[in-house]
């Protein structure tokens, strides 16, 4: 705590920023080198269509990403996850893969990827590929051969079944894009299964040849400098072999289909056996696995770590995104559940399938402040954070207003109840110039009108911007043993407005206090000292515009609405 005295002091954001730069100009202490690199890393998802366009055709590309590596390095990014850039007919914008071992010409060449990986590694940035493990494109050579004949050597690489009767699919399973999950192929008179689009047939992971072919994909990309994989739709690898009907629920879904529970084609136990085998292959190449692990509860999430921490190192905690807007008790509860999982937490607040956090959490008036609040939380928790491109700028959803403007097949089929995912995939905002500096051509999606002030060039010059807050926060994270490896210790778990916790490692203790309320809230630093005699606090970073006031033998901070307060506690 501050030395005992009467009076007050004012915390200026600009002064704190300058002090923070000095404070973290040299390491506070050595990192725990025994820990794997991904525990200390900050990941950054890049949607390649929308990040940077080097040839002005309106689409982002690999050379564009390479040109922005210095920006990512100065931001504080340690690894980039690149959404699919494989050859693809683009029915689902790359998540329908036609060749796992090449680059789609719209993004460049394999040689361009090699340059990207090499230049990233020069800057200490690892490269993660999006690995679409559940399905391929209907134009993949494997599927073309599989559909050619019932006697094809690759027939069993996909899931083919006879219908129940004329015009009747094998069971009631539904596609997540609407309609039946089964499509009749006239060539052989059988149905093939596709959890997603008709153009995305599911692989049959029960076939050892499929498993080995997919394992070989990881070995191929290892030779091209890939440090790991984000496993797309990993919970869907296995289906019930008897094709039992899923339980039907009352009502209709957004596509007008019956609601149902995917009991027999989602999150089956065999998925975990497969992941243990995949982990052995990637471990041999020093690669990390990140999981797109949609789960209903913390026990399901916990299972993805494996019984001996031998499955996915970094399963994403999407339960975090289900917390009610700006709820300190809600986030406190979910953090506690993640801490109880026994694995290394991976907190996510945005990605290419989720409405951007700036839009989802904002209140329409204090969105910039709330964006800093969310960053102050998920970048100081124990675990590995994954940023989504533009999150550091406060990019917001820019949704289409007419069906004819929708590019995403999910929106095309579900309109107007389902508007699709175009809104969270708009071009990265680099400058205040035309098309936000993304391209000199016509961008594939319209740029959000807010780009004039929410862009890299503009925010770099504004010391109080969201971007500079991220830069300061990430600099602090990288230099703090407590934030990298320390325990998570909740403080005052009954406070309805303020989420507060300590991060403690060795001799360093960091206090984080976050005001989730739209009004100023008092917070007593004394409760965070946990009995440390004559403890002192030194402010590292705050967005609060209010005073820190000494009242008798207590030190009460009055946190302004949606304020972030981070301090070091010392004896």
Place of tokens 């700036």: 358
Q: Which has the higher per-residue pLDDT, 30 or 329?
A: 329
- Looking at the chain, the whole-number percentage of residues with pLDDT higher than 70 is 92
Sign of CA dihedral 408, 414, 416, 419: negative
CB 97 within 8 A of CB 56: no
Percent of the chain at pLDDT exceeding 90: 87
Residue 325: what pLDDT?
85
Q: Bigger pLDDT: 534 or 304?
A: 304
- Which of 322, 317, 321, 354 lies closest to 338 in space, CA to CA? 317
State how far the Cα of 223 lies from the Cα of 225, in Å rounded to an integer: 6
- As a residue count, the chain comes to 571
pLDDT at 534: 55
State whether 157 and 230 are in the same domain: no
Tokens at 521, concatenated: 């809230």
Alpha-carbon gap, residue 370 to 375, rounded angstroms: 9
Confidence of residue 8 (pLDDT cuts 50, 70, 90): very low
Residues 157 and 305 in one domain: no
Give me the mean pLDDT over the 433-456 stretch: 97
How confident is the model over 295-303, as a mean pLDDT?
95
Q: Sign of torsion, CA 160 161 163 164?
A: negative
Question: Tell me: the pLDDT tens digits for 189-237?
Answer: 999 999 999 999 999 999 999 999 999 999 999 999 999 999 999 999 9
pLDDT at 5 over 80: no
Is 125 in the same domain as 216?
A: yes
CA dist 258 and 408 (Å) reads 23
Q: Which of 469, 451, 447, 449 is nearest to 460 (CA)?
A: 469
Annotated active-site residue 232? The verdict is: yes
Number of domains present in the structure of the chain: 2
At which of 415, 449, 476 does a domain end?
A: 476
Of all residues in the chain, what percent are helix, strand and coil, respectively (each to 5)?
30, 20, 50
The pLDDT assigned to 331 comes to: 97
Specify whether 94 is located in the same domain as 186. no
Integer Cα distance of 384 and 13 in angstroms: 27
Residue 522 near residue 557 (C-beta atoms within 8 A): yes
CA distance 525 to 567: 10
Report the CATH number at residue 170.
3.90.400.10
Is the domain of 187 the same as that of 315?
no
Q: Sign of the C-alpha dihedral, residues 489, 571, 471, 36?
A: negative
Asked if residue 450 belongs to a domain, the reply is: yes
Q: Which residues pair with 351 in a beta bridge?
A: 354
- State the angle between helix axes of 13-23 and 466-479 in degrees (0 to 180), rounded to the nearest 10: 30
What is the distance between the alpha carbons of residues 186 and 325, in angstroms, rounded to a whole number? Answer: 49
Residues 184 and 318 in one domain: no
Confidence of residue 525 (pLDDT cuts 50, 70, 90): confident
pLDDT at 547: 66
Of the listed ranges 21-30, 69-78, 167-176, 258-267, the least confidently predicted one is 21-30
- In the chain, the largest separation of any two C-alpha atoms, in whole Å, equals 87
The answer to whether 392 is a known catalytic residue is no
Q: Do 469 and 330 belong together in one domain?
A: yes
Q: What is the pLDDT of residues 142-201, one digit of tens each?
A: 999 999 999 999 999 999 999 999 999 999 999 999 999 999 999 999 999 999 999 999
- If asked whether residues 339 and 394 sit together in one domain, one would say yes
In this prediction, residues 101-120 reach a mean pLDDT of 98
b (16+ CB within 10 A) / e for 127-142: bbbbbbbbbbbbbbeb
pLDDT average, residue stretch 413-433: 96
Total-model pTM? 0.94
Question: How does the average pLDDT of the chain come out, rounded?
Answer: 92
Active-site residue identified among 227, 266, 292, 368: 292
Q: What is the pLDDT of residues 316-348, one digit of tens each?
A: 999 999 998 899 999 999 999 999 999 999 999
- pLDDT score of 2: 29
Q: Which residues pair with 126 in a beta bridge?
A: 79
311: containing domain:
41-135+208-235+288-476
Q: Coil, strand, or helix at residue 465? A: coil
**List of residues 6+ apart from 412 with CB closer than 8 A:** 403, 406, 420
Cβ(535)–Cβ(541) below 8 Å = no
- Residue 312 and residue 231: Cα distance in Å, rounded? 9
For residue 537, name the pLDDT band (cuts at 50, 70, 90): confident
For residues 47 and 94, state if they share a domain: yes
Indicate if 184 and 317 belong to the same structural domain: no
Tokens of 153: 């050597």
Q: Which of 232, 311, 339, 399 is catalytic?
A: 232
pLDDT score recorded for residue 31: 56
Give the domain-ending residue among 442, 461, 476.
Answer: 476
Would you say residue 353 lies in a domain? Answer: yes
| pLDDT 10s digits, 244-280 | 999 999 999 999 999 999 999 999 999 999 999 999 9
What does the pLDDT average to over 384-405?
97
Q: Is 462 in the same domain as 340?
A: yes
- pLDDT number for residue 556: 81
Side-chain-facing half-sphere of 492: CA atoms under 13 Å = 20
Q: Is the pLDDT of residue 19 over 50?
A: no
Tokens encoding 305: 């770590």
Q: What's the CATH number where 361 sits? A: 3.20.20.80
Residue 538 forms beta bridges with which residues? 568
* Residue whose C-alpha is closest to residue 483's, from 516, 508, 500: 508
Residue 531 pLDDT class (50, 70, 90 cuts): low
pLDDT at 554: 60
Same domain, 381 and 440: yes
Give the domain-ending residue among 476, 504, 533.
476
Per the domain annotation, does 371 fall within a domain? yes
441 occurs within a structural domain:
yes
Confidence of residue 535 (pLDDT cuts 50, 70, 90): low
pLDDT over threshold 50, residue 25? no
């Amino acid at each position: 705590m501050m030395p005992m005295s009467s009076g007050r002091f004012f915390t200026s954001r600009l002064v704190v920023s300058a002090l923070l730069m000095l404070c973290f100009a040299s390491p506070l202490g050595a990192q725990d080198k025994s820990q794997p690199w991904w525990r200390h890393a900050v990941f950054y998802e890049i949607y390649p269509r929308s990040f940077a366009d080097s040839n002005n055709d309106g689409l982002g590309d690999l050379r564009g990403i390479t040109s922005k590596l210095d920006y990512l390095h100065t931001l504080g990014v340690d690894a980039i996850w690149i959404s699919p850039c494989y050859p693809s007919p683009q029915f689902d914008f790359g998540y329908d893969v036609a060749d796992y071992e090449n680059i789609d010409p719209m993004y460049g060449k394999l040689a361009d990827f090699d340059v990207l990986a090499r230049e990233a590694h020069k800057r200490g940035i690892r490269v993660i590929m999006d690995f679409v493990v559940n399905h391929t494109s209907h134009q993949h050579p494997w599927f073309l051969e599989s559909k050619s004949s019932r006697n094809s050597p690759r027939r069993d690489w996909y899931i083919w079944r006879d219908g129940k009767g004329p015009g009747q699919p094998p069971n009631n399973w539904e596609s997540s894009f609407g309609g039946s999950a089964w499509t009749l192929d006239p060539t052989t008179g059988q149905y093939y299964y596709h959890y997603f689009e008709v153009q995305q047939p599911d692989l049959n992971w029960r076939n050892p040849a499929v498993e080995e072919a997919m394992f070989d994909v990881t070995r191929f990309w290892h030779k091209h400098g890939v440090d790991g994989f984000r496993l797309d739709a990993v919970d869907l690898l296995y289906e019930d072999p008897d094709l039992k009907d899923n339980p039907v629920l009352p009502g209709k879904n957004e596509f007008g289909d019956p609601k149902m529970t995917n009991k027999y084609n989602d999150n089956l136990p065999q998925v975990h056996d497969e992941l243990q085998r995949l982990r052995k292959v990637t471990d041999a190449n020093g690669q990390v696995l990140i999981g797109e692990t949609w789960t209903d509860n913390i026990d399901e999430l916990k299972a993805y770590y494996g019984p001996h921490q031998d499955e996915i190192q970094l399963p994403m905690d999407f339960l975090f995104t289900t917390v009610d807007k700006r709820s300190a008790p809600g986030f406190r509860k979910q953090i506690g559940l993640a801490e109880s999982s026994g694995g290394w937490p991976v907190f996510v607040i945005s990605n290419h399938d989720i409405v951007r956090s700036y839009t989802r959490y904002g209140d329409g008036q204090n969105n910039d402040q709330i964006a800093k609040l969310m960053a102050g939380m998920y970048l100081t928790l124990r675990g590995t954070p994954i940023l989504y491109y533009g999150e550091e700028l406060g990019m917001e959803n820019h949704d289409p207003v007419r069906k004819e403007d929708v590019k995403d097949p999910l929106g095309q089929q579900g309109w107007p109840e389902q508007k699709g995912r175009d809104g969270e995939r708009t071009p990265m905002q680099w400058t205040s110039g035309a098309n936000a500096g993304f391209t000199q051509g016509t961008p594939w999606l319209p740029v959000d009108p807010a780009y004039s002030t929410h862009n890299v060039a503009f925010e770099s010059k504004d010391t109080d911007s969201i971007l500079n807050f991220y830069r300061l926060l990430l600099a602090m994270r990288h230099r703090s043993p407590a934030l990298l490896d320390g325990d998570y210790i909740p403080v005052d778990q009954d406070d309805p407005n303020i989420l507060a916790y300590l991060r403690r490692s060795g001799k360093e203790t960091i206090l984080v206090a976050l005001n989730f309320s739209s009004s100023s809230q008092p917070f007593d630093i004394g409760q965070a000292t946990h009995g440390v005699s004559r403890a002192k606090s030194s402010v590292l970073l705050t967005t609060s515009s209010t005073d820190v006031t000494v009242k008798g033998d207590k030190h009460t901070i009055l946190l302004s609405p949606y304020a972030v307060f981070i301090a070091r506690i010392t004896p």
